[in-house]
Amino acid sequence: MRGRAFLCQISEDDWSISRVIGVYGNREGSERKGKVQYFDDTSPTVQSIVEDLVGMRKGDLVFFHVLRKNEESSIHGVYRVREEPFFNEQRLWKSENFIYPYRFCFEPHPEHITLCKYDASIAVNQFYASVEIGEIRLIVTLEREERGAAHAVKMVAREDAKKIIETLYREFPTRRLEKPLKFEPLKISGPHLRNYIKRVGEIEFALKAVVAYKLGQEDPDFTCFIPACRNGQYDFLIQTFIGQTIRRPVDLVCIGYHNSERTQDSTSPFYG
């Protein structure tokens, strides 16, 4: 499996639109006590959103964690990135209060068309069961961390992505739509999210956004300083959990793959 993988949180209502038009967005603002408070474009929250998305490249795998109102949430896939993250304020979703301007475009992965056509899914409790027995190692929680504030997007290690795909196929006979969906990709664009990295050296999220972008672009002038990235392919994960008991996220994990050998470098906390 080439490329990296991401798991993106989205509401059930928004998913019904996004899975057709092939656009995902992270929101601009938060709701507190019934009132909407919009983010300042240099706020730590915005920088955490940029950090999560800016490392994406065309062809990367994408799964979606769909939050449901009246039943258990679920994980859907397998899609791939067709346009790298950008900023665009065109209203696409049903929310009257929020715009979701931090976006990327996606499409059904050509090797997994059937899963996407019938919106295959697995229940979140199945995902957590795989975490508990160690089949999935580098994500422990799907919820937004309190300190992270806006981490609706998680990076997924390739071993974990393979396990999610296997489970999607195993559950496909019982967890799928009866009628196929019609994919109608929307043509939409905007300035790349790298242009929205602000306050580098002032706040941690902005610095990690720079790191995520450099790693995502496989910049040799940067990766040469990280042993796990020097040879062959590598994964990198920002703000993730390792193992089944540690509840504090690690800021950066790099996993290298070379001649079937696996190496890993990690650091936490991440000081700017």
What does DSSP assign to residue 192? B
Q: What is the mean pLDDT of residues 45-74?
A: 92
Question: Quick one: pLDDT at residue 175?
Answer: 95
Distance CA 188, CA 152 (A): 22
Q: What percent of the chain shows pLDDT beyond 90? A: 52
Q: Does residue 269 have a cis peptide bond before it, meaning omega lies within 30 degrees of 0?
A: yes
pLDDT tens digits, 131-177: 777 787 766 556 554 444 557 898 888 888 999 999 999 999 999 99
The two tokens of residue 96 are: 């009257």
pLDDT surpasses 80 at 250: no
Q: Which domains are present in the chain?
A: 5-202 (3.10.590.10)
Pair 226, 265: CB distance under 8 Å: yes
Q: Tell which wins on pLDDT, 32 or 59.
A: 59
pLDDT at 42: 78
C-beta of residue 36 within 8 angstroms of C-beta of residue 98: yes
Q: Could you read off the pLDDT of 185-195 as tens digits, one per residue?
A: 999 999 999 99
Residue 130 reports pLDDT greater than 80: yes
Mean pLDDT, rounded, for 237-255 = 69
Confidence of residue 66 (pLDDT cuts 50, 70, 90): very high
pTM of the model: 0.86
CA triplet 6, 11, 17: central angle to 5 degrees?
A: 90
Residue 7: pLDDT band (50, 70, 90) is very high
Check residue 143 and give its pLDDT: 55
Closest CA to 145 of 42, 215, 248, 235: 248
Residue-level pLDDT at 146: 46
- CA atoms 37, 49, 7, 159: torsion sign: negative
Taking residue 64's Cβ as centre, other Cβ atoms within 10 Å add up to 24
Cα–Cα distance for residue pair 130/144, rounded to 1 Å: 20
With b for 16 or more beta-carbon neighbours within 10 A and e for fewer, the 37-55 pattern comes to eebeeebbbbbbbbbbbbb
Residue 272 has pLDDT above 50, yes or no: no
Cα 24 to Cα 46, 65, 82, 100, 252, distances in angstroms: 16, 12, 11, 8, 24
For 38-57, what is each residue's pLDDT tens digit? 888 778 889 989 999 999 99
Token digits for 25?
Answer: 């967005």
pLDDT one-digit tens code per residue, 212-238: 999 999 999 999 988 888 877 888 888
